[in-house]
């Protein structure tokens, strides 16, 4: 224990030392009225309806737009700032995800799910601030750099067949965006470790200490994200402030002791949990470099509505009194630690009830008195998370390995029903849905076969598709991209898009080693640009605002990803190359040889006629031919002329020919080298 602790203390010492240095350095900078590099860490915990728990780590570092420090940074990871400067990245997001976000039970209409639910595997998009013709080169370099930084095969995204250029359906809409996914990438600790390296305290202190690998990877969903924005401040565009946002979203199953010994009646009681029981660790000490480090507990709108807080009627007035007893001592649950502050959501447009946020400040706790919150449920509670307007799923149709169809189906959720009833006065309300679908080139999509089904009835495409942008796939060159804006009536129950495709056939060396496993088609992005998932919490001091909460306030359109599809492709026989080459060449030789044989065959009397002709005409060429044929037959033929002269003639001609051929070869080499 002592051995373990010693480096820890040492590190802390170094950290505090650095921190002091930073402080001194920044003291001078502050006087000039410049911003300083900041780092803040937050953890948000949210109980999910299906007895699971969402933990959302949010680390944010920012570097101010300053030239005074040159390329030196105190807190901000140097690798990232170099990357931004070198490739002129305006905005970038990289996510490593394992598992699938369950939109039905975990919700899709809150800021956490719409910006942190990611497709399985690696997803990378970046906006560049370079001229149009340099973007692809920058992208290639960026993928290689990231691949090295995060120990992942992101470099596979460099080939033009894997990334695409979304025109307008992708949120940071501009022409300089590049988007690529690797759905089959396996995500593990080797990707997490370099990600943690970017944090000033690594995982040695405060909240990051909770990132215990076994408990993280035991979860149902795990998504590690890195979002980068560089804001230009000066007109030259060299100076840029960078905001690096690192989030890790995990969905875990709290397995408390009580959950094991539940009675049949208590089956619906949510499992009680504490940070130490889910992560196996406690938050001890603080990261001295962090500006703020806090833990939040979020109670969902649906949950709050179910819990029936005593003074729900005058909830707003109560929120102003910061530590209102009513909010945290509730008959249905009990918190182990008293929250430092309670935020109540401002009225939202889409829901009647408001969510509640409990805030715990980690700074107050020390190593001797570690921080650990727990939530103990007393009565069974069941609620539903707020869902996306339409639930999207995607599947294949057809069988066999020749062709098929992709169907994207949209089903109305309980949200749309409420929305519809709210808007029914207008009569004609429309629901805008953006679909962004990338298909690899070996799935050859026939865009003319796009069909729209609304309420299971085939309808004319032009009635519901407002805008469509297609860039067809080029073999081994670029993937097919389809961006569609659908305008659906609000009372729609189901809508489906189907599109037919042919499966391509690849060369033997283009198949991966596990060719029979199939190929992944990346998720389609379904976004609802008219709906914004935002949570505005009443805060009294806007100066000292938490990055996580300000992130929640941003209006981001509701987005959901569909499933990744696995398409099996026909495989050739991998053991056959030599056989195929030899058999094919044999057949060609057969063709060539037999046809030539038929063409040059002379039958009995023709030969005699030729011989007679040859005897008559003693030209040089017939003579040579007869000699040659005699040689080939292996018989000696009586020479008509004296052998030496003839042979010398042959030799000179032969030498001439050889020289000619050699000269040609030399010329060819010279010309092409």
Partner 1 sequence: MEKVKKKIGSFSFWNWVTASIIFRLILIYFPKNLNLSSRPEVSTPLTSFRRLAEGYWLKQSFMSPYAGSMYHGSPLLLSLLGPLTINRIEGQPNHLLYSLVSVIADVVSAMLIRATGQNLRLAYLRSLESLDLVKQIEVSEFLFSGDIAALIYLCNPFTIVACVGLSTSPIENMAVILCLYGACSRLIPLAAFGWVIATHLSLYSAILIIPVIFLLGCGPDSPPRKLFLQRHQQKEVLNQSKLPPRFSWGPVIHFAFWAFLWSVYVLVLCGISLKQFGGLWEMFKSTYGFILTVEDLSPNIGVLWYFFAEVFEFFRNFFLIVFHVNILFMILPLAIRLRHRPCYLAFVYVAICSMLKSYPSVGDSALYLGLLGWFVNELADMQFSLFLFCGYVGVSLLSPVMHNLWIWRGTGNANFYFATAMVYACLQIVLVVEGVSAMLNHDRKLRNLITGKPQDAKS
Binding interface with partner 1 (CB under 8 A)? 399-403, 441, 444, 446-449, 468, 470-477, 480, 502, 504-509, 570-573, 576-577, 580-581, 583-584, 587-588, 590-592, 594-596, 598-601, 603-606
Neighbours of 504 (CB within 10 A): 17
Shortest Cβ 593–partner 1 spacing (Å): 10
Shortest Cβ 440–partner 1 spacing (Å): 13
Shortest Cβ 598–partner 1 spacing (Å): 4
Helical pair 78-87 and 135-150, crossing angle rounded to 10 deg: 170
Neighbours of 429 (CB within 10 A): 15
Which helix (DSSP H) or strand (DSSP E) does residue 446 occupy?
strand 443-454
The secondary structure of 196-226 as a DSSP string is: HHTSTTTTSSGGGGG--HHHHHTSSEEEEEE
The number of residues making up the chain comes to 673
Write out the two tokens for 386. Answer: 């707020």
Residues 6+ apart with CB under 8 A from 119: 97, 181, 183, 522, 523, 561, 564
Shortest Cβ 671–partner 1 spacing (Å): 18
Q: Name which of 336 and 579 has its Cβ closer to partner 1.
A: 579
Q: Name which of 214 and 400 has its Cβ closer to partner 1.
A: 400
Shortest Cβ 505–partner 1 spacing (Å): 4
Q: Which residues pair with 561 in a beta bridge?
A: 525
Label residue 364 exposed, middle or buried (CB < 10 Å: 0-12, 13-18, 19+): exposed
Q: Name which of 262 and 625 has its Cβ closer to partner 1.
A: 625
Q: What's the chain's Rg over C-alpha atoms?
A: 36
Q: Name which of 645 and 673 has its Cβ closer to partner 1.
A: 673
Shortest Cβ 508–partner 1 spacing (Å): 5
Q: Name which of 508 and 614 has its Cβ closer to partner 1.
A: 508
> Left, alpha or beta for 206 (phi > 0: left; psi -120 to 50: alpha)?
left
Q: Which of 94, 91, 88 is nearest to 194 (CA)?
A: 94
Label residue 492 exposed, middle or buried (CB < 10 Å: 0-12, 13-18, 19+): buried
Pinpoint the alpha helices (H) of 388-506: 414-423, 461-464
Shortest Cβ 97–partner 1 spacing (Å): 30
Q: Name which of 395 and 592 has its Cβ closer to partner 1.
A: 592
Q: Which of 289, 286, 249, 300 is nearest to 361 (CA)?
A: 286
Neighbours of 568 (CB within 10 A): 15
Shortest Cβ 514–partner 1 spacing (Å): 17
Write out the two tokens for 309. Answer: 């807080």
Shortest Cβ 576–partner 1 spacing (Å): 6
Shortest Cβ 592–partner 1 spacing (Å): 7
Write out the two tokens for 41. Answer: 């860490």
Q: Name which of 23 and 592 has its Cβ closer to partner 1.
A: 592
Q: Which residues pair with 392 in a beta bridge?
A: 410
Write out the two tokens for 556. Answer: 């981001």
Residue carrying structure tokens 């539903």: 384
Residue carrying structure tokens 């018989």: 635
Q: Name which of 27 and 398 has its Cβ closer to partner 1.
A: 398
Write out the two tokens for 176. Answer: 């300089």
Residues 6+ apart with CB under 8 A from 157: 122, 124, 139, 143, 163, 180, 182
Q: What torsion, rounded to 10 degrees, do the Cα atoms 634, 640, 642, 645 define?
A: -80
Q: Name which of 373 and 445 has its Cβ closer to partner 1.
A: 445
Q: Name which of 238 and 590 has its Cβ closer to partner 1.
A: 590
Long-range contacts at 135-143 (CB < 8 A, ≥ 24 apart) = 135/176, 135/178, 136/160, 136/178, 138/87, 138/88, 138/89, 139/163, 139/178, 141/86, 141/87, 142/83, 142/87, 142/89, 142/92, 143/180
Shortest Cβ 568–partner 1 spacing (Å): 9
Shortest Cβ 481–partner 1 spacing (Å): 10
Shortest Cβ 620–partner 1 spacing (Å): 22
The secondary structure of 62-78 as a DSSP string is: EE-S-STTTT--SSS-H
Q: Name which of 100 and 476 has its Cβ closer to partner 1.
A: 476
Shortest Cβ 434–partner 1 spacing (Å): 18
Angle at 349 between CA 345 and CA 351, to 5 degrees: 70
Helix (H, G, I), strand (E, B) or coil at 130: coil
Which helix (DSSP H) or strand (DSSP E) does residue 192 occupy?
helix 189-197
Q: Name which of 1 and 460 has its Cβ closer to partner 1.
A: 460
Shortest Cβ 139–partner 1 spacing (Å): 21
């Amino acid at each position: 224990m002592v051995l373990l602790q010693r480096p820890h203390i040492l590190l802390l010492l170094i950290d505090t030392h650095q921190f002091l240095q930073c402080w001194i350095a920044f003291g001078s900078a502050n006087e000039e009225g410049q911003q300083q590099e900041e780092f803040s860490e937050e953890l948000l915990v949210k109980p999910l309806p299906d007895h699971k728990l969402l933990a959302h780590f949010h680390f944010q570092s920012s570097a101010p737009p300053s030239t005074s420090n040159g390329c030196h940074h105190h807190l901000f990871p140097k690798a990232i700032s170099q990357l931004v400067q070198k490739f002129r990245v305006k905005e970038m997001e990289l996510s490593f995800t394992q598992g699938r976000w369950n939109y039905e039970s975990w919700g899709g209409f809150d800021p956490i799910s719409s910006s942190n639910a990611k497709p399985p595997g690696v997803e990378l998009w970046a906006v560049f601030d370079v001229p149009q013709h340099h973007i692809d080169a920058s992208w290639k370099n960026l993928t290689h750099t990231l691949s090295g930084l995060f120990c992942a095969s992101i470099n596979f995204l460099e080939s033009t067949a894997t990334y695409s250029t979304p025109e307008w359906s992708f949120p940071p809409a501009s022409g300089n965006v590049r988007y690529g996914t690797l759905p089959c990438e396996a995500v593990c600790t080797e990707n997490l470790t370099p990600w943690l390296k970017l944090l000033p305290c690594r995982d040695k202190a405060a909240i990051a200490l909770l990132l215990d690998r076994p408990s993280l990877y035991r979860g149902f969903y795990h998504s590690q994200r890195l979002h980068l924005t560089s804001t230009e401040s000066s007109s030259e565009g060299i100076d840029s402030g960078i905001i690096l946002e690192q989030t890790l979203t995990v969905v875990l199953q709290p397995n408390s002791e009580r959950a094991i010994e539940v009675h049949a009646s208590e089956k619906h009681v949510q499992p009680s949990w504490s940070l130490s029981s889910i992560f196996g660790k406690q938050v001890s000490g603080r990261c001295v470099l962090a500006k703020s480090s806090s833990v939040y507990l979020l109670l969902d709108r649906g949950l709050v509505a179910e819990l029936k807080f005593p003074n729900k009627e005058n909830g707003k007035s109560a929120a102003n009194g910061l530590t209102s007893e009513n909010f945290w001592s509730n008959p249905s649950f009990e918190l182990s630690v008293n929250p430092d502050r309670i935020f109540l959501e401002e009225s939202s447009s889409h829901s009647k009830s408001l969510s509640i946020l409990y805030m715990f400040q980690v700074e107050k706790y020390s190593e001797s008195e570690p921080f650990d919150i727990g939530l103990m449920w007393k009565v069974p509670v069941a609620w539903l998370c707020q869902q996306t307007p339409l639930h999207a799923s995607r599947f294949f149709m057809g069988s066999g390995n020749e062709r098929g169809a992709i169907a994207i189906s949209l089903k109305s959720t309980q949200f749309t029903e409420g929305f519809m009833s709210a808007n029914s006065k207008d009569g004609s309300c429309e629901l805008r849905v953006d679909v962004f679908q990338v298909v690899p080139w070996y799935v050859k999509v026939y865009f003319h076969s796009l069909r729209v089904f609304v309420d299971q009835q085939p309808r004319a495409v032009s009635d519901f598709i407002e805008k469509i942008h297609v860039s067809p796939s080029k073999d081994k060159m670029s993937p097919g991209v389809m961006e569609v804006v659908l305008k659906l009536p609000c009372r729609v129950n189901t809508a489906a898009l189907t599109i037919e495709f042919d499966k391509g056939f690849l060369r033997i060396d283009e198949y991966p080693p596990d060719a029979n496993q199939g190929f992944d088609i990346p998720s389609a992005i379904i976004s609802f640009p008219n709906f914004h998932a935002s949570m505005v919490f009443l805060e009294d001091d806007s100066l000292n605002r938490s990055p996580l909460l300000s992130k929640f306030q941003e209006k981001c359109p509701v987005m959901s990803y569909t499933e990744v599809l696995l398409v099996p492709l026909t495989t050739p026989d991998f053991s056959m190359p030599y056989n195929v080459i030899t058999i094919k060449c044999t057949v060609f030789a057969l063709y060539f040889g037999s046809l030539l044989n038929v063409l040059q065959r002379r039958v009995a009397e023709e030969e005699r006629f030729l011989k007679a002709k040859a005897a008559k005409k003693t030209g040089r060429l017939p003579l040579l031919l007869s000699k040659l044929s005699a040689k080939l037959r292996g018989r000696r033929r009586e020479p008509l002329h004296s052998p030496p002269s003839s042979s010398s003639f042959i030799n000179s001609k032969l030498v001439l020919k050889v020289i000619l051929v050699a000269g040609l070869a030399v010329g060819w080499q010279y010309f092409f080298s």
